[in-house]
Amino acid sequence: MPSMPSDLEISRATLRKPLSDVAGDMGIEPRLFEPYGHAAGKIALEAIDEFATRPRAKYVVVTSITPTPLGEGKTTTTVGLGQAFAHIGKRGVIAVRQASMGPTFGIKGGAAGGGYSQVVPMEAVNLHLTGDLHAVTSAHNLLAAMVDNHLHKGNALDIDPLAVAWRRVLDVNDRDLRQIVTGLGGRQDGIPRQTGFDITAASEVMAVLALASSLPDLRTRLGRMVVAYDRRGEPVTAEDVRGAGAMCVQLRDALKPNLLQTTEQTPALVHCGPFGNIAHGNSSVVADLIGIRCGDYLVTEAGFGADMGAERFFNIKCRASELTPDAAVVVATVRGLKAHTGRYHVVAGKPLPEEMLAENPDDVRDGATNLRKQIANVRAHGVTPVVAVNAFPGDYDSEKQAIVDVAAEEGARAAITTHATEGGKGAAELAEAVAEACAEPAGFSYLYPDDASLTEKIETLARRMYGADGIELSTTARRQLEECERHGFGHLPVCVAKTHLSLSADPSRKGAPVGWTLPVREVRLSAGAGFVYPICGDMRTMPGLSSQPAAENIDIDEAGQVVGLS
């Protein structure tokens, strides 16, 4: 059997439509479309109001089982499903997150799908695109500079230098910047203090950009971001240091969603990429507000498993957009469920263990406790789940069928998909199942009310999403929750920062752990994005490079083309 071309080779061989024609297929007039070269374009925000009277597409979120470090193929499935609707006579539009160049040059590689279900051109998607991440980096660091300048120029707001919460960001994996000291030198070089860098995707500015529904909303959210606390313990905002206006100017174009296309010319909205651990891990609200009026189905992707990305999609993003989902796709893989037996050690960048590749449907069934829990997590929000069995060439029929059987036992539709190797036609059965699910009466609801206390919200997530017996608050976390309530942030949703590799807070615990308690170490505030995030583990917000980073293999050939991108 001939080997499959690389993602980059497939991308370059793809016949692409002029993007103006892709926009036209969506009903977007030329005056609302702004080309950025031949690869991408931006859609004017005026489209949101102008399209408001159009029929609303069915709204589908793609989530997954708790992933292995390799990922289970949510983006590829999102693309494949979006393409598949054309194969059953429907119009699909997809919305996915933007790639961060840190992982692209690190170990994970690109983030635009794969094989014959990817957003193209691959180079543009993974390298700069329209510069949105650079705009986020610049706006974030401008605010950091203004905070430090305020301290240097007299500190009229009486900011406590030891309580500055605003770090700096950079879109690169660089562990040496995690903890730094600024202001070294002399009197004219600032005030020395300890701080650090996060990766750009972890910036609250990125989360704000993803959740803003308009330019005025963006300006308001930027202004209420808390950057520090004064010596009385009161929050100091970006508005207080007079940085929000200039930041909004820098982000004015970045707020417009990017339009690209897939390998089958399906419209692809590629916009924003907030961190999936400490933020909500979903693409932008404005992309969905436009895309939901431009086809029959809008398929969007949520980061990590259904306990994290989908839960945040339901309880944070849908609160901001006021859109309600019609169905959710839960992606499952044979290798992922085998890993959830706890018998195998999967490491990113290394081959799967040899014994894991042997035919063993019993292993799949044993690890399916995780799939059963994630199906239940979707249903807890009143949304109909559909299981997508993302098939790999080495999977055995008995193993794939085991996943289908588990889904049937849980009363969920399921389809085996081969979209990575066959494109949209490989997900046509999935598209049919999703269409059936979307035709059922919708009963979407949030998991908790706004007026529940922050502690109650955390406990609800711990018990209902993760399967914990309860929560354990540290003294620090308890005090911080009380402060959030006192400062008027108790109505906000919560975004639990925990490992994505387990339903629990311990990445080594696989399947669906029981008999455990969620430990809450501390609580932080994203007032601009509009959520409180309890920290339940060690979250790395600035990754490091591996011993053999992907950057070592990326270069330019004699023809000036990118090589080595994966």
The annotation places the binding site at 68-75
Looking at residue 265, what is its pLDDT?
98
| Extents of the domains making up the chain | 7-129+255-439, 132-251, 454-535
- Across 220-233, average pLDDT: 97
Given a cut of 80, is residue 565 above it in pLDDT? Answer: yes
Given a cut of 70, is residue 138 above it in pLDDT? Answer: yes
The annotation places the binding site for ATP at 68-75
* Contacts by 68-72, CB closer than 8 A, 24 or more apart: 68/335, 68/336, 68/339, 68/346, 68/501, 69/346, 69/347, 69/348, 69/501, 70/335, 70/346, 70/348, 71/108, 72/331, 72/332, 72/333, 72/336, 72/390
Q: Which of 142-146, 279-283, 503-507, 544-548 has the weakest average pLDDT?
A: 544-548
- Across 532-549, average pLDDT: 89
- Across 354-376, average pLDDT: 97
Whether the CB-CB separation of 109 and 566 falls below 8 Å is answered with yes
For residue range 42-78, list pLDDT tens digits in order: 999 999 999 999 999 999 999 999 999 888 999 999 9
CATH of 7-129+255-439, one of 3.30.1330.40, 3.40.50.300, 1.20.140.10, 3.30.310.80: 3.40.50.300
Report how far Cα 25 is from the mean position of its chain's Cα atoms: 27
For residue range 342-355, list pLDDT tens digits in order: 999 888 778 899 99
Given a cut of 70, is residue 323 above it in pLDDT? Answer: yes
Given a cut of 60, is residue 21 above it in pLDDT? Answer: yes
Q: How far apart are CA 225 and CA 208, in angstroms?
A: 9
Considering the entire predicted model, what is its pTM?
A: 0.96
User: Closest Cα to residue 548, out of 350, 312, 340, 402?
Assistant: 350
Q: How far apart are CA 423 and CA 81, in angstroms?
A: 9
Q: How far apart are CA 130 and CA 124, in angstroms?
A: 8
For residue range 176-226, list pLDDT tens digits in order: 999 999 999 988 999 999 999 999 999 999 999 999 999 999 999 999 999
- Across 512-534, average pLDDT: 97
Residue type, 511: G
Looking at residue 245, what is its pLDDT?
98
Q: How far apart are CA 369 and CA 291, in angstroms?
A: 35
User: Closest Cα to residue 468, out of 316, 307, 310, 248?
Assistant: 307
User: Closest Cα to residue 423, out of 82, 169, 41, 45?
Assistant: 82
User: Closest Cα to residue 297, out of 124, 498, 86, 133?
Assistant: 86
Looking at residue 303, what is its pLDDT?
87
Cα dihedral value 185, 190, 192, 194, nearest 10: -120
Given a cut of 60, is residue 532 above it in pLDDT? Answer: yes
Looking at residue 145, what is its pLDDT?
98
Q: How far apart are CA 462 and CA 350, in angstroms?
A: 32
For residue range 292-315, list pLDDT tens digits in order: 999 999 999 998 999 999 999 999
Q: Average per-residue pLDDT in the chain?
A: 95
Report residue 501's pLDDT band, with 50, 70 and 90 as the boundaries.
Answer: very high
Looking at residue 269, what is its pLDDT?
98
Handedness of CA 404, 85, 292, 268 (dihedral sign): positive
What DSSP character marks residue 401?
H
Of residues 103 and 291, more confidence is placed in 291
Looking at residue 540, what is its pLDDT?
85
Q: Which of 275-289, 436-450, 543-557 has the weakest average pLDDT?
A: 543-557
For residue range 160-176, list pLDDT tens digits in order: 999 999 999 999 999 99
Q: How far apart are CA 10 and CA 14, in angstroms?
A: 6
CATH of 454-535, one of 3.10.410.10, 3.20.20.80, 3.40.50.2000, 3.30.450.20: 3.10.410.10
For residue range 400-420, list pLDDT tens digits in order: 999 999 999 999 999 999 999
Looking at residue 348, what is its pLDDT?
77
CATH architecture of residue range(s) 132-251 = 2-Layer Sandwich (3.30)
Describe the crossing of helices 204-211 and 244-251 by its angle, rounded to 10 degrees: 60
Given a cut of 60, is residue 1 above it in pLDDT? Answer: no
- Across 509-525, average pLDDT: 97
Ramachandran assignment for 149, one of left (phi > 0), alpha (psi -120 to 50 degrees), beta (any other): alpha
Q: How far apart are CA 288 and CA 304, in angstroms?
A: 19
- Across 360-384, average pLDDT: 98
Given a cut of 70, is residue 548 above it in pLDDT? Answer: yes
- Dig out the tokens for 474 from the structure: 């540290």
Report how far Cα 180 is from the mean position of its chain's Cα atoms: 28
pLDDT > 70 in the chain, percent: 99
Handedness of CA 483, 486, 487, 492 (dihedral sign): positive
Describe the crossing of helices 204-211 and 132-152 by its angle, rounded to 10 degrees: 130
C-beta neighbour count of 142 within 10 angstroms = 16
Q: Which of 109-123, 328-342, 383-397 has the weakest average pLDDT?
A: 109-123
Bridging pattern class, strands 117-120 and 92-96: unpaired
Phi and psi (nearest 5°) for 350?
Answer: -120, 150
Whether the CB-CB separation of 338 and 367 falls below 8 Å is answered with yes
Whether the CB-CB separation of 391 and 418 falls below 8 Å is answered with yes
